[in-house]
Amino acid sequence: MGADHQIAFFLRESAQPDPERRAAALKGLGRIGRAERARVLAGEADDPAPAVRAAAALGLGRLVVPEAGEEALPLLMGDVDPGVRRRASVAATRLGLGGPAVTRAFARLLSDPDHHVRINALDGLSALGVPGDVTTLAALLGDPDPAVWGRARTLLYRCGEDPAVRAEVMRTARRGTGAARARALERLPEGSPSGSSTHCSPGSTTRRPRYGSRPPGACSPWNDNRYRTSWPQPCAPRSIPRSPRDCCGYSEDWATTG
């Protein structure tokens, strides 16, 4: 069966009453469909079956037609089903989508109960070069999953010249709890105030308490030139990943998972 016949078959299957058949058809369109079929996938974003919505997001990411996903994917990133949110967040990063709606969607996903989705949100915000919700981002320093808090720490480093990020990391170091406070304290510049201080004194020589070990030569986002950029664009966007594994690490084998 040629590609055109396969596409025609998938289009017929996408209109079937069985949601499993519709989902399989959308996955097929994502694999072998052409750019003009991206609109078909976007049109299935409101399907009542979560499997179909997830397949639509997966297909949009595979076809790599950004304009087709601009409206559908931010909505799917707020879906009630975690599988849909997972695939939509990966697809949005894969397509290089940006703008306020996408940034807000990623920021909301920072507090998602599914750790895969939190990872995808951090990858998406890192690709955009923005911190999203700084309060939630700093709180993720205390996430139990190293893949989450490690990404959160890296993004905080990259956005260290953002005054809101700086203030939130200082607040977490002073008033946070548990691992989040410990990791914030580890990365403050030498001479920064401890958790009991009420103001920052750049010239102070008082050393803060040690919470965990700090590797030799470890740098602070506040005084390392690698992280310095100009406000109001404090974070330098990284290049958009060109492969699924680049954009989501090990969190989602989205090219093969249903």
Q: Where are the domains of the chain?
A: 1-112, 130-235
User: What confidence category does residue 238 fall into, taking pLDDT thresholds of 50, 70 and 90?
Assistant: low
End-to-end CA distance of the chain: 23
Spacing of C-alpha 178 from chain mean position: 24
Question: From the CB of residue 222, how many other CB atoms can be counted at a distance below 10 Å?
Answer: 20
240 has a pLDDT exceeding 70: no
User: What confidence category does residue 3 fall into, taking pLDDT thresholds of 50, 70 and 90?
Assistant: confident
Spacing of C-alpha 83 from chain mean position: 15
Cα–Cα distance measured from residue 68 to residue 43, given in angstroms and rounded to the nearest whole number: 9
Single out the residue of 101, 155, 145 nearest to residue 123, CA to CA.
155
Cα–Cα distance measured from residue 131 to residue 162, given in angstroms and rounded to the nearest whole number: 9
150 has a pLDDT exceeding 60: yes
Question: CA torsion sign, 230 to 232 to 235 to 240?
Answer: negative
Pick the CATH number of 1-112 from 3.40.50.1000, 1.25.10.10, 1.10.3720.10, 3.40.350.10: 1.25.10.10
What is the predicted pLDDT for the residue at 100?
96
Tell me what the pLDDT averaged over the chain comes to. 80
The amino acid present at 194, given as its one-letter code, is S
Residue 206 is classified by DSSP as P
CA R_g for the chain: 21
What is the predicted pLDDT for the residue at 209?
36
The answer to pTM > 0.85 is no
Instruction: Identify the H or E element spanning 74.
Output: helix 72-76
Most confident of 32-41, 59-68, 140-149: 140-149
- Over range 243-250, report the average pLDDT: 40
207 has a pLDDT exceeding 70: no
Give Dmax (Cα) for the chain.
74
